[in-house]
Amino acid sequence: MRALRLLTCLAVLLAMMGAAAPLQTAWAQQVSQSLDESGDPVAGNVPGGSLGNSSDSELWRAIRKGGQFGVSIPDEQAAIMVQSEGELWEEVRNGPLTFYGAVVVVGMFWLLVIFFFIRGRIKIEHGMSGQTIERFGMLERSLHWMVAVSFIVLALTGMNILWGKHVIMPILGKEIFATISMWGKYAHNFLAFPFMLGVALMFVLWVRHNIPNKHDLIWLSKAGGLFTKGVHPPSRKFNAGQKLIFWSVVLGGLTLSLSGVAMLLPFEFGMWAKTFGVLQSIGFNVPDPASVTPMMEMQLSTLWHSAASLVMIAIVLAHIYIGSVGMEGALDAMGSGQVDINWAREHHNLWVEEVEAEQGTAKPQAQPAE
Ligand code: HEM
C-alpha cells in the first residue's frame, strides 16, 4: 500500500516536470532575449523576463504624461488615461490658494478694523449744511445695487465652495452644509448674469468719469487725505481711489466673467492657450500654448477664477467700508442720491464747481473745500 502511494507521487511529479519543461524553455528564451551577449539587459526589456519580455516603459510614460490615444466614442477626453496635472491642480487649490486666499480676505478685514480704530470715522469737517446736491440718479443707484447685491451673494457662495468644508461644515454639520452648498451653487450660477450685465452697464455709464487725470497723481501722493485729518486733495466726480475701485470692478468683473463662463460651459471654449500665446509674444516665460489641453484649460480657469475673485473681494471690502461706516455722509450718495454740499465740497470740490457752473447755481455761503 505504502509502495503504491510512493509510485503515484512519483508519477505525478514526473508529469508536472514534463508539463513544466516547455514553460521552462520559453522562460529561458525570454531571459536570453532580454540580455545582450555580455549578459546585460537589452534596453526596454525586463531582466529575467519576469514581467514579460518588454516593460513597455515608453508606453506607460506616455500615459502618465497625459498622452492622448484613440477612442471610438465621441468624448475625446476619454482618450487621456492619466491626467497628471489634476494632482497639481488639487495641490494648488487645497494648498496655497486656500491658505493665501484667506490671508488676503481676512487680512483686509482686520486691516480695516485697525484703520477704523486708529483713524475713526472720517467726519464732514464743516458739519452738515442741510443743503444737498444730487450725486447719483435713479439709474446709477439701481445699477450700483444690482451689481453690489449680486456680487455679495456671488462672493459668499464662492467662498463657501472654497472654504465651506473647513468653516461651515464643522459648525453646521454635513447635511445642512450640503443643502446650503447646493442652493449656493444655484445662486452662484444664476446671479453671475445680473453681475455681468451690471458691470457692463456700469462701464458704459461711468467710464468717462474714470479716465485718469493730473489730479489723480496729487490725490495719490497725499493718499487722498485718508490718513491725515484736514487734507482734501482736489477731485472731480471720482477721485483716484474711486477710479482704482472702478477699474478693479470692470477688469476684475471681465476676467471673472470669462473664466466663469468657461466653467459654466465646460470644454466649449478655452482662453488660456490664447492668453499664453499673447504673453509669450511679449516675452513672458509661460507654458507653450500648444501644450495646453482642454482639461488644463478648465483647471487653469478654476484656479484663476478663485484667485482673482478673492483679490476682488478684498478690494470691495475696502470699498464697502469707506462707503458706509468709514466716512460720514458717503452712503447717502447711493441711498437717496443726495449728498450734503459740505461733504461734496470736501471730497469732490471740482465736481461741485462743474455742476454749479452747468446749472448756474453757485452758492457762495457754502464752505470752500480745503
Ligand atoms: C454694502 C455694500 C456697498 C456699499 C455700502 C457701497 C457704497 C457705495 C457708495 C456710497 C458709493 C458712492 C461713493 C461716492 O459717492 O463717491 C459707491 C460707489 C461705487 N460702488 Fe459701491 N457699495 C457697496 C458694494 C459695492 C460692490 C459689491 C461693488 C462692485 C462689486 C461696488 C462698486 C461700486 C463702484 C464701481 C462705485 C463707483 C466708484 C466708487 O465710488 O468707488 N459697490 N458704493
* Residue whose CA is at the smallest distance from ligand 1 atom 15: 333
Distance 163 CA to ligand 1 centre (A): 26
Rounded to a whole number, what is the largest CA-CA distance in the chain?
Answer: 133
pLDDT value of position 369? 44
Distance 306 CA to ligand 1 centre (A): 22
Share of residues in the chain with pLDDT > 70 (%) = 82
Is there an atom of ligand 1 within 6 Å of 238 CB? yes
| 158-203 pLDDT tens trace | 999 999 999 999 999 999 999 999 999 999 999 999 999 999 999 9
> Can you tell me the mean pLDDT for 53-73?
74
Q: SS3 of 126, please? A: coil
Is there an atom of ligand 1 within 6 Å of 324 CB? yes
Is there an atom of ligand 1 within 6 Å of 240 CB? no
User: Concatenated DSSP letters for 315-358?
Assistant: HHHHHHHHHTTTBTTSGGGTTTSEEEHHHHHHH-HHHHHHHHHH
Cα–Cα dist 109/325, whole Å: 13
Position 232: which residue type? Answer: H
| 269-310 pLDDT tens trace | 889 999 999 999 999 999 899 988 888 999 999 999 999 999
* Residue whose CA is at the smallest distance from ligand 1 atom 29: 148
Distance 195 CA to ligand 1 centre (A): 14
**Beta-carbon contacts of residue 184 (< 8 Å; ≥ 6 apart):** 156, 157, 160, 161, 164
Cα–Cα dist 275/265, whole Å: 19
| 295-353 pLDDT tens trace | 899 999 999 999 999 999 999 999 999 999 999 999 999 999 999 999 999 999 999 99
Q: SS3 of 242, please? A: helix
Position 218: which residue type? Answer: I
SS3 of 49-64: HECECECCHHHHHHHH
> Can you tell me the mean pLDDT for 88-102?
96
pLDDT value of position 48? 55
pLDDT value of position 21? 53
> Can you tell me the mean pLDDT for 62-87?
76
Position 241: which residue type? Answer: G
Is there an atom of ligand 1 within 6 Å of 330 CB? yes
Position 326: which residue type? Answer: G
Position 244: which residue type? Answer: L
Nearest 10 degrees: Cα torsion 17, 19, 22, 23: -90
Distance 282 CA to ligand 1 centre (A): 35
